[in-house]
Amino acid sequence: MTKLRVHDMAGEFGISADEVIALLRQMDVPVRSHLSLLTDDQVSRIRARWEREKRLRAEKAQPAPAAAPRRRR
């Protein structure tokens, strides 16, 4: 039973610890700082949540298909 800290999860995800803390608080996980310890259950929940967030961010970041250039007559 290895406990990870919030800043370890942030490094794994490649985002700031503040973003991880915000996600955890949305999930009603009590955290105080980037040094807070997370249980195995909390770690698995935040990993699943991050995968969903990552997909949503990727969908939002994809630009709309470019319109075909107009031909001049």
List pLDDT tens digits, range 13-65: 999 999 999 999 999 999 999 999 999 999 999 999 999 989 998 888 877 66
Instruction: Please report, for residues 7, 11, 29, 39, the alpha-carbon distance to residue 17 in angstroms, rounded to integers and kept in the order given.
Output: 5, 8, 14, 17
How far apart, in whole angstroms, are the C-alpha atoms of residue 17 and residue 33?
A: 8
pLDDT of residue 66: 63
In single-letter form, the type of residue at position 30 comes to P
6-28 core/surface letters (b: 16 or more CB in 10 A; e: else): bbbbbeebebebeebbebbeeee
* Domains of the chain, earliest start first: 4-61 (1.10.10.2480)
Kindly report the number of other CB atoms within 10 A of residue 43's CB atom. Answer: 17
pTM over 0.85: no
